[in-house]
Amino acid sequence: MDKQEIRERIWREMEEKGIATFPPPYGRIPNFVNADKAAERLALLEIWQKAKAIKCNPDSPQKFVRQRALQEGKTIYMAVPRLRKERCFIELKGRMLANVASTIKGAFRYGKPVYPWEMKKIDLVMAGSVAVNIKGARVGKGGGYSDIEYAVAREIGIVDETTPVVTTVHDIQVINGEIPMKEHDVPVDFIITPTRVIETEKAYKKPKGIIWEILDKELPILEILRKRKNNYMVKEFADK
């Protein structure tokens, strides 16, 4: 199965079995019953308890993760949809705003837009998933933006190889089959469902930064980073 076939299968099964909740699953990171239970299970882990700053996706099933993080005084960074602005992340913090700011609309109302280099060092990366397997392979909704967000953060040094990448999903989203993975795809270290915690086999390496030669998206933040990279290379050459 290719990734799109896996997506279609999972979306269909979640809908047919009454596992998907609002909004409808197709074309999205699907919301699921007991997503709050998965967030509760995540909160029991040491990697969560030690984390002070979390990069989290803005999708519906991770609302409970964002809400809990804010209630516990953690800082959250959410990407602007499709990274369409130079200040491509929203910084959120504050216990009193947890219920509102954990929603997508609330985040844009109460959050502070920041450049990636203005962010704190990230202690945990939360990724939304359509499907995952125990090797650590992941299928997102298909836009590729989650991988770019990680690559940007890795490029500027606010995440590294040891930063845990976590996803919360329903058990039905943990599949037995293979998931195609390429060098720019970000694998997950932990899979949290409403019923269990899975530490993956970590069969795939995480990308070390932006792989410029395969990147075809024109995004404001990438233009800035490309210029910074080129200027550094020119300076380094001139200093020799």
Q: Tell me whether residue 230 is in a domain.
A: no
Contact 141, 57 (CB under 8 A): no
In a domain, 149, yes or no: yes
The counts of H helices and E strands in the chain are 8, 10
The secondary structure element, H or E, covering residue 165 is strand 165-168
Confidence at residue 37, expressed as pLDDT on a 0 to 100 scale: 99
**CB of 28 within 8 A of CB of 81?**
no
- Count: domains in the chain: 1
Contact (Cβ atoms closer than 8 angstroms) between residue 50 and residue 123: yes
Q: Report pLDDT for 238.
A: 41
State the CATH number of the domain containing residue 160: 3.40.50.10420
**pLDDT at residue 231 in the model:** 73
Domain that includes residue 140, residue range: 3-215
| Predicted TM-score (pTM) above 0.85 | yes
pLDDT of residue 232: 58
Instruction: Determine whether 209 is exposed, middle or buried from the number of CB atoms within 10 Å of its CB (0-12, 13-18, 19+).
Output: middle
Sort strands 165-168 and 53-56 into parallel, antiparallel or unpaired: unpaired
Per-10-residue mean pLDDT, the chain, length 240: 98 99 97 99 99 97 96 96 94 86 87 97 99 99 96 97 99 98 98 99 97 88 90 46
Residue 228 lies inside a defined structural domain of this protein: no
Residue 147 falls inside a structural domain: yes
How far apart, in Å, are the Cα atoms of 82 and each of 19, 85, 95, 130?
27, 9, 27, 18
Q: Is 231 within a domain?
A: no
Q: What pLDDT, on the 0 to 100 scale, is given for residue 235?
A: 41
Any domain includes 116: yes
Structural domain includes residue 122: yes
Give domain status of residue 236, yes or no. Answer: no
